Amino acid sequence: MQTTETLTGFKKYVSLTRPHTLTAGFVPVFVGTFSALAFSDIRLDMFAAMLIATILIQSATNMFNEYFDHKKGLDSKESVGIAGAIVRNGMRPKTVYMIAVAFYFTAALIGLYIAFQSSLWILVIGAVSMAVGYLYTGGPFPISWTPFGEIFAGLFMGTVIIMITFFIHTGSLEHYYFPLLISIPVAITIGLLNMANNIRDRKKDAESGRKTFVILAGKKNAVNTSALLLAVGYLFIIWFAFFAPESSLFLLLPLLSIPLAVKTVKLWKKGHTPVELIPAMASMGKLNTIFGMLLSLGLLIHGLTGL
C-alpha cells in the first residue's frame, strides 16, 4: 500500500480533508436526524445544512492538525496517516491554514442559518465545538497532546452533534433522553477512531512529548481498552433495543457489524509499525461508518413504522 505518494492538482486538496475521517462528521447527523423522526417530521434543509457544516468543521480540524503538526516539526515526507499537503505535496503552510479558516467561516455562516431557524443557543454550542476543533491541535495546550483526546472527540463529534441535530428538527429537548442515550455507542466508535490514530502514531507522538492515553497506558492496554469499549457499545445497543424508552428491535441492526469489530481488534493486535497499523485504522473507519449507518437505518425504520 502506497502511503507516501506525492499528490498534485485536485487530489491534494481532497487529501487535505482526510476523507477517511469524515465519517465522524456525517454519521452523527444521520443518527440525530433519524432519532428525531420518532417524535416529529424532519426538515431536509436543516439536515443538509447540518451535514455540510459538520463535514466542513471536521475537514478544517484535520487541516489545523496538519498545519500545527508541521509547525511543531512532527511531520516528514515519510509520515503516514497525514494528508502530506505541506511536506509531500508542496502546499504552503499558510495556504493550508487559510483553507481551514475559510471552511470554519463557511460553517459559521451555515450555523447562523441553523440558529435563526431553531435557537440562538445553537450559536453558542457551535462556537464551543469549533473552538474545541481548533484547540485539538492548536493553542498553547493542545487537547491532542493529553490523555483526553478520545473523550473530546467522542463527546463533541458524537453526542453534541446528535443532540443539536435532534433539536433542530424537533424544536424541543422534551425527549432529550432518546438522542442522549443513542449517542453513547456512536461516541464510543468516534472516540475509538481517534484511538486507532493514536495507536498507529504512538512512537512519533511519544518522541514529540505527547501524553496521549495510548502512550501512558501502552499499546496492549490501549487495544484491550478499545476492545472492551466496543463490547460495551454492542451490549448497550442490546439493552437499548429491549428496555430503553422508545425501544425497537430494529435498533439491533448494528450487531451486524460485530464481525468487522472483531477484525479491527485483531488488526490492532497484529500491527506494530505505523504502516502495519494502517489497515487497522481503515478498518476502524469502516466500522464507525457501518455501525452508524446501520443504527441510522434502524432509527429510520422505527421512526416510520413505530415498530
Grid-cell match 479558516, residue found: 101
Query: Cα separation of 103 and 115, whole Å?
Result: 18
Specify the CATH number for the domain of residue 187.
1.10.600
Buried b or exposed e, range 257-281, using 16+ CB within 10 angstroms: beebbeebbebbeebeebeebbbbb
Domain that includes residue 32, residue range? 9-305
4 assigned to some structural domain:
no
Q: What is the pTM of this model?
A: 0.90
Distance CA 70, CA 110 (A): 30
Could you tell me the three cell numbers for 193?
477512531
* 85/69 Cα distance (integer angstroms): 12
User: Which of 267, 113, 121, 288 has its CA nearest to residue 199?
Assistant: 267
Residue 73 domain-assigned (yes or no) = yes
- Listed in sequence order, the DSSP H helices in 172-212 are 177-200, 202-208
Residue 3 lies in a domain: no
Question: Would residue 208 count as lying in a domain?
Answer: yes
Structural domain includes residue 228? yes
Please give the Cα distance from 88 to 92 (Å, whole number).
11
Contact 93, 70 (CB under 8 A): yes
- CA–CA distance from 212 to each of 142, 202, 208, 219, 229 (Å)? 11, 8, 11, 11, 17
Cα gap 126→116, rounded to integer Å = 13
DSSP secondary structure letter of residue 81: S
Q: Residue 307 has which C-alpha cell?
A: 415498530
Our count of domains for the chain comes to 1
Give residues with Cβ within 8 angstroms of 42, minimum separation 6: 33, 34, 36, 169
Q: Return per-residue pLDDT of the chain as tens, 307 residues.
A: 344 566 556 677 777 778 877 888 889 999 999 999 989 999 999 999 999 999 999 999 888 888 887 787 766 565 555 556 677 667 888 888 999 999 999 999 999 999 999 999 999 998 999 999 889 888 788 898 999 999 999 999 999 999 999 999 998 888 889 999 999 999 999 999 999 989 998 988 888 888 999 999 999 999 999 999 999 999 999 999 999 888 899 999 999 999 999 999 999 999 888 889 989 988 999 999 999 999 999 999 999 998 8
**Which pLDDT belongs to residue 80?**
57
**What pLDDT does residue 57 have?**
92
Q: Identify the pLDDT of residue 290.
A: 96
Q: Specify if 86 maps to a domain.
A: yes
* Grid cell of 168 as nine digits: 433542530
Q: What's the pLDDT at 1?
A: 38
- Collapse the DSSP code of 11 into the 3-class scheme (helix H, G, I; strand E, B; otherwise coil) and give the result: helix
Determine the Cα angle at 220 with ends 192 and 137, to 5°: 45
- Asked if residue 1 belongs to a domain, the reply is no
Residue 2 falls inside a structural domain: no
Helix then strand then coil, in percent of the chain rounded to 5, is 75, 0, 25
Q: Return the pLDDT at 78.
A: 59
